[in-house]
A = this chain, B = another copy of it.
Amino acid sequence: MVDSTGLEQMVCFQLYAASRAMTAAYRPALDAHGLTYPQYLALRVLWHRGPTTVRDLGHHLDLDSGTLSPLLKRLETAGHVRRERGTADERTVVVHPTESGTRLRDDLGDLPRRIACATDLTDDEFRRLHHLLSRLRGTT
């Protein structure tokens, strides 16, 4: 399980660097709308699922309330999101996309595809990368 070329070290650093490079690739388009990449990820969940509790957002994004609470507060201040206490369970907070938040989908919905096209990875390479990263996530 893993040879002795120091590849493990390389892969860990590559993940760290690639992740930052990817969010940097998103930055210009997102900046134009005053969004950050994590905020964009949260909006994508809301576009896909509609009103969602903070808890479920956390499960989808692998983030806890310590990260999400201030992030959602900023999205709310920007007018893209509305928060209200759950009625059945008053511990929960349901996050609703607003008109403004929903409209962002028109401009930013296909951003991942545009970013991917700027890459010169082939279709097949993308699929293999997806598969390998899935295997990685399954075990760490």
Contact = CB atoms under 8 A, between A and B. Distances in A.
A37 to B, nearest CB: 7
Given A117-B2, A125-B135, A22 B17 contact: no
Contacts of A66: none
B18 A22 contact: no
Interface in A83-124: 112-113, 115-123
Chain A contact patch, size range: 35 or more
Given A9-B112, A41-B16, A113-B8, A2 B126 contact: yes
Nearest to A3: B123
Contacts of A24: 140
Interface of A: 1-4, 6-26, 37, 41, 44, 62, 112-113, 115-123, 125-130, 132-137, 139-140
